[in-house]
Structure formats: C-alpha cells, structure tokens
Structure 1
Amino acid sequence: MDTTKKVSFIVPVYNAERYLEKSINSILDQTHPHIELILVNDGSTDSSGKICEQYAKRDSRVKVIHQPNAGPSAARNRGIAEASGTYIQFADSDDFIDQHMTRRLVQAMEGGSELAICGYQKILMRGDHIIKSEVHCIPQKGNFTKEQFLVHFGELYQYYYIHFNWNKLYDAQLLKDSGLAFDLDVNWGEDLLFNLRYIDKCQNISLLPDAFYYYIDSNAASITSQFRADLYTNMQLMQGAVKAFLQKNNAYAGKNKVLFENFYTSRVMTCFWNLFHPSSTLTPDLAKKQMGEIIHNEWLHKRASYFQSGNFEKRLIGTLIKRQAVGALYRYYSLKSLVKRRMLPKEKKWV
C-alpha cells in the first residue's frame, strides 16, 4: 500500500465541545501515516473553537479555519477548497472512527477506484449512556465497475450506505476537477445529492463490509426528533434525484426499482408522522390540508401497490391513500400520536 498518499480529513465543527476531543483523537490516531485534519469551526458559540486551536498547536497535521456560521455544507466546501491530499475523507465532529479506517479505505482505492465505501455502526445515546448499538456491514465486497456497482444500488440505498459522506473516501482530483460542491440551498439530504453527482463521475467503486465509522445518534439531528415543515417537499426532492440518477444510468429496473419504491413509501409514512410531532405548529385543518396534498400526489398513487408489501400499518396507510381518505388517515395518526404521548416519559425524545 502506498502510505505516502495524503488523506485530507474535513470536519465541520459547530458547538461540539462534548464529543469533539474524542472525534479528533480518533482521526489523529489513524494507522495511515499521512493525513491532514481540517477543522472548520462554523461559528461555534461554545468552547469548540478553543479546542480546535489547542490541537493545532500540539499537532502540525491539524489546520483550523474559523468562519461565521453558514451550515455544514458551507463548512465542507471550504474544507474541500483547502484540502491538499490525494484523497478526501469527511467526518462529523460528534462521531469517531476505527483506527484502521483510513488505511483500509486507501488500500481499497489502489485498484483504480475513485470511491471507497465501508459499513458503519450506529450508536444510540441518551446523555452519556449507550441505549443501543447497531452494526451495519455492507454485504458486498471488492472492486466494481460503475455498472456492476449500480446492480447493488437498491440494497445499499435502503440501508443508508449511499446517503452519507462519512463512510466514504473520495478522489480529491476528481472531486475538484468536476467542480462538485455541497448544495447550500438544501439543509437535509445534501450528502445524498453530493454523492449521486460524485458517483456519476466514477468509473470504479470499492466496497468494504467492515463497520469502521461510529455514528453517534443522540436523536438531536434525527428527521423524527423535530418538526420539519418542509419534510415532504425535501423528501420528494431526494427521491426524485435518486430516481433520475438511476434512470440516467439505466439502473431503474428489477430489484433496484422495487427496493427504491418501498423505501419511498416508508418515507411517505415518516412525512405523515412528522405532521403530528409535539412541536408541530400546524392546526388540525392545516395538517389535513398537507395530508391531502400528499395523498393526492399522482406519483404516490402510482406507487400505492408498494404499501401492500409492508406490515399491517403500512398496508392500512396504503389502503387509505388509495381511497384518498384524508379524514380517516388524520384520525389514525391523531390516535397514534395520543397513545405515543401518554406512553412516553416527558424527558424522552419523540422517535
């Protein structure tokens, strides 16, 4: 393995003092010997900026950039512009990584790949306590042409191996030559859009089953942890982009199509549930109106049959959508919300 190839880590930092040191240490402890760590302090109001500067003073591999708060996409774009490595790797400031992650990803790229993807471990935290740990290992392994990779796209997509940037290694030259950047106008799912555009530029992609990345889910960033007024619109944008990508690459068929459509219907149910979040600002009439807009969507009606392959709840929702029964759908989620609130302790998050 060529250990002389530098890997540029890009880490957006915003009010991450609680986990930041563990995250930074896990990167600096990598067994790949040639790295640089670019910490983009995105207007933090806690001690995150100070922590970043302390590491920069102790370790010449660390570079700190301070900027006014502009969001993670802007921070990542700034990091890409400053990166000097052969490869680019992203991490979030509240997560950490296995010490062999970078070495193994670089090794996977040596066969001529422009992208390497590995598995991840999701750790559900409440305060300082681990509630649950889920290991997600990619079932496929090896180097694939883009066409071979796309055969497995649906399987990878449904378990979120495609969505994020933190379980991947990117070719810096390809990224910069293509002029790719994170979309500043999208505040949820920007990773997915970035990855679709990048994959489109690739000729070869490597898959590693190992769960090298440790994603800390404190529930604060979960799509179900807060009310999102634009969730359905955003979801339509994401799913539309994925479908267009697959169609462009002649991969929207067979298993890919079935898995994608099933994923889409599950996201629709998440959008319904979002309307009944405790922090929702919607009146009952507005919630019904949004439900009506969703279930009268022509695209959704064409996919109604995919609801029937799910559990009882999914089949029920599919039936109500097919009948365009807004009132019944509203009553179902109202009852479900009421039961959830009564069963959930006040200090718990909505999930």
Structure 2
Amino acid sequence: MLETEKVSVVVPTYKVEKYIHRCVNSILKQTYENLEIILVNDGSPDQCGEIAEGYKQSDSRVKVFHKENGGLSDARNHGMKQVTGEFTMFVDSDDWLEPYAIEKMVHHSLAFKADVIQSAFYYAHEDYLLFDQRHYTKNGDLMILDNEKLMHELVKNETVKNFAWGKLYKTKLIRDIPFEKGVLFEDVFWAHQVMHRVNMFVILHEPLYNYYQRDDSIVTTYTPRNLDILKGLKERHAFIEKEYEELIDESFKTILKTSLIHYNLLSMNRKVDRDRHHRKEIQSYITDNYFSFQQAIENDKHLSLQLRLFYKHPYLNIFYLVSKKVVRKLKVFSKPVGLEKIKLKSRKEVQTL
C-alpha cells in the first residue's frame, strides 16, 4: 500500500560522480521532508555506487539499489518497483531541484486533485541559466488542462514537455507503464501512454527544476541512435490515429519538423551515415506522406516552404536554412522573443541554487 502524501524520488545514476552530489543534495534539502530518495546505481564504473551508499548511511530516507548496466529506462523501471510513496518524481542525476520544488508541487496536486503537476524549468549551463519565455511566464497564473487540451499540448511539445522529469505524478497512474528499454528519447515512447490516463493536469510557470546542459555538441556526438526519437514519434502517431483523431495533423507536423532536423544533422555528420541509408529512409517517409504533411502544415508558411524545397531536393532546404541563418546574423530580421538569460556569479552559485 502506498504511503499517503509521501513522495518517492527516483534517481538513476551512471557515470555522474561529478554531478551526483549537487543532484542528491538538492533533494535532501527540500522544504518538503516526507521523501523517499531511490538511488539506482546502473552499473556505473565510477564512484557513483560508493557515493550513493554514503548518502544511505547519512540519511534514512535514502535507499540504494545496485544493478547491472541496462540504460536509463531500465534503471527507472527498477526504481519504480521500489516506490512506496503516493507521488513519484524522476530526477536525472546531473540535474537538480529548487529547494521548495516538491512542496509546491505536492500542495498544488492536493489542492486541485491533479493527476500530474508540471513546473517550468531552467536550461542550466555552467555559469548561466536560460528561462523559456516563449511558453512560460515566471509570475503567470497556473494552467489547468483537461485530457483533450493536455494531449494537444503534449503533441506540440511546447508548454507540456515529453520529458518524464520535472513532473510530480500520482504513483498509481504510472506504476504499470514501464519505460521502453534500449532506446534513446525513452520519454517520447512513454509520455503519451501516461497522459492518456490523466483527467487533471496542472502547470506551474515558476521554474522549479534545473535541466543541466552539457557542453557536448549534438553534431559531434550524433549517432544513428538519435533517430530513436522518430521511431517514438511514429509509434505515438499510431496511438494518436486510434485515440485522438483530431490531433493527427498536429502529430504529422511534429514528425515532419523532427525528420527535417535529423536529416540535416545526418548531412552535417555524414560519417555516421556513409551509405545514406538513414537519410534515404527519412526522405522516403517524407515523400510517401507528402500530401498528409502538406495538409497538416498548410497554415505554417515557413514549414510549408521547407517541405516543398525538401521534396524537390533535400539540399535545397538545407541551403534555405543556412541562408536564413546568415541573414539573421546580419540582423536583417529582428530576433523573436525567446530565452531569458540569467547570469550567475560563479560556478559555485550554480551548484548551490
């Protein structure tokens, strides 16, 4: 039986000895104290296991589990089996929480009888934070979404993110929905199954989660495994066609935007696609679904142009995007409102937020 008002925080750890203290300390120092911190050492070759055991010795709320390496999904699934709280949160081990994050999320979940609470978040760099002003307003009123509005926002992935982290879930809602193992972007395979069950979803505009941004470039670290996101989106699309017919166009739009991005990334990093197998696969999918895409994006002039150019030849679209980027740098176009940059005085300040 789940313990009322207790929050179980699942933290998978693997090769994060540099960041794990910042993460775990931010959970232990929460103003909300009825916690269970589940640290899952996913066969990490560094000191993560030993560090986790140290926390277990110093705080009775910490539970530690060691397992063979199986990836983030497998570690989360393992952690979920140990959960005893009414609520569950996932925190990635290089991220961290604001001190009052859990208290505020639990308060709003109880007040609104919400199945899931999502907060805004910071994109956290070493010496500055970025806040997304396009979709959140720091002092804005909370948003309450029913299932229909929630699924629409999830497919758009702007205000409601596909990320598993940054949300407080009622444990009974997610307990029997495991993360798919062996894939990247595992949240895309998982989130729509969860949100399909949600009746009440609340968004807090205040940033309560810090999403750490490593310096690695996606171009230099890109591998064909990154294409798992397209697999996940297509799997979700089949679900949308069955359950939410009114969202088919929005789903096609998301798939198209993501397909174009990954075609361009493969073109920039050709060594991972020497025989053009993956690019041909993307091109064939776009060509085969051209008219569905065209219908889905008829009100988006920019994306419609990209689709037409890509259909004629993929490199025409790449040339168009490069040209647009150059023009923007020359300040011919004004920059849209985007991310607010918050400078930090020092690296130490980042670690103590």
User: What is aligned with 2:271?
Assistant: 280
User: What is aligned with 1:229?
Assistant: 224
User: What is aligned with 1:342?
Assistant: none
The one-character-per-residue Cα deviations of 1:230-281 (angstroms, maximum 9, x if unpaired) are: 544x34332234434444444x53xx66654443332122111221244733
Q: Is the contact between residue 151 and residue 192 of structure 2 (CA under 8 Å) also seen in structure 1?
A: no
User: What is aligned with 1:15?
Assistant: 15
User: What is aligned with 1:49?
Assistant: 49
Q: Is the contact between residue 162 and residue 192 of structure 1 (CA under 8 Å) also seen in structure 2?
A: no
What amino acid does structure 1 have at the position aligned with 2:224?
A
What amino acid does structure 2 have at the position aligned with 1:218?
R
> Aligned to 2:271, what secondary structure does the other structure show?
coil
5 Å-filtered alignment, 1:189-268, equals 189-220=185-216, 224=219, 226-232=221-227, 234-250=228-244, 252-253=245-246, 259-268=250-259
The one-character-per-residue Cα deviations of 1:15-67 (angstroms, maximum 9, x if unpaired) are: 10111101111101111120010100111111111211111111111111111
User: What is aligned with 1:159?
Assistant: 158
User: What is aligned with 1:348?
Assistant: none
Unaligned runs of at least 5 residues, structure 2: 327-353
Q: Is the contact between residue 73 and residue 190 of structure 1 (CA under 8 Å) also seen in structure 2?
A: yes
What amino acid does structure 2 have at the position aligned with 1:208?
L
> Aligned to 1:6, what secondary structure does the other structure show?
strand
> Aligned to 2:256, what secondary structure does the other structure show?
helix
User: What is aligned with 1:347?
Assistant: none
> Aligned to 1:23, what secondary structure does the other structure show?
helix
The one-character-per-residue Cα deviations of 1:195-251 (angstroms, maximum 9, x if unpaired) are: 21111222222222221110001144x75552232544x34332234434444444x
> Aligned to 1:5, what secondary structure does the other structure show?
strand
Q: Is the contact between residue 164 and residue 192 of structure 1 (CA under 8 Å) also seen in structure 2?
A: yes
Comparing 28-37 with 237-246, which one deviates more in the overlay?
237-246
Paired with 1:279 and 1:286, the residues of 2 have a C-alpha distance of 11
Among candidates 178, 183, 203, match of residue 180 of structure 2: 183
Paired with 1:206 and 1:288, the residues of 2 have a C-alpha distance of 39
Paired with 2:145 and 2:279, the residues of 1 have a C-alpha distance of 47
Q: Is the contact between residue 145 and residue 200 of structure 2 (CA under 8 Å) also seen in structure 1?
A: yes
Q: Is the contact between residue 288 and residue 330 of structure 1 (CA under 8 Å) also seen in structure 2?
A: no
Q: 2:300 matched to 1:309?
A: yes
What amino acid does structure 2 have at the position aligned with 1:207?
I
Q: Is the contact between residue 179 and residue 187 of structure 2 (CA under 8 Å) also seen in structure 1?
A: yes
> Taking structure 1 as reference, are residues 231 and 19 closer, same or farther at Cα in structure 2, changes over 3 Å only?
closer
Paired with 1:285 and 1:74, the residues of 2 have a C-alpha distance of 31
Q: 2:108 matched to 1:108?
A: yes
Comparing 21-30 with 235-244, which one deviates more in the overlay?
235-244
> Aligned to 2:122, what secondary structure does the other structure show?
strand
Paired with 1:4 and 1:211, the residues of 2 have a C-alpha distance of 26
Paired with 1:188 and 1:91, the residues of 2 have a C-alpha distance of 17
**Aligned pair count?**
316
Paired with 2:270 and 2:47, the residues of 1 have a C-alpha distance of 29
How big is the shift at 1:315?
5.6
Q: Is the contact between residue 116 and residue 208 of structure 1 (CA under 8 Å) also seen in structure 2?
A: yes
The one-character-per-residue Cα deviations of 1:120-139 (angstroms, maximum 9, x if unpaired) are: 1112x3xx444x52346277
User: What is aligned with 2:61?
Assistant: 61
How big is the shift at 1:331?
8.0
Q: Is the contact between residue 4 and residue 34 of structure 1 (CA under 8 Å) also seen in structure 2?
A: no
Amino-acid identity (%): 24
Unaligned runs of at least 5 residues, structure 1: 340-351
Comparing 114-123 with 5-14, which one deviates more in the overlay?
114-123
How big is the shift at 1:102?
0.7
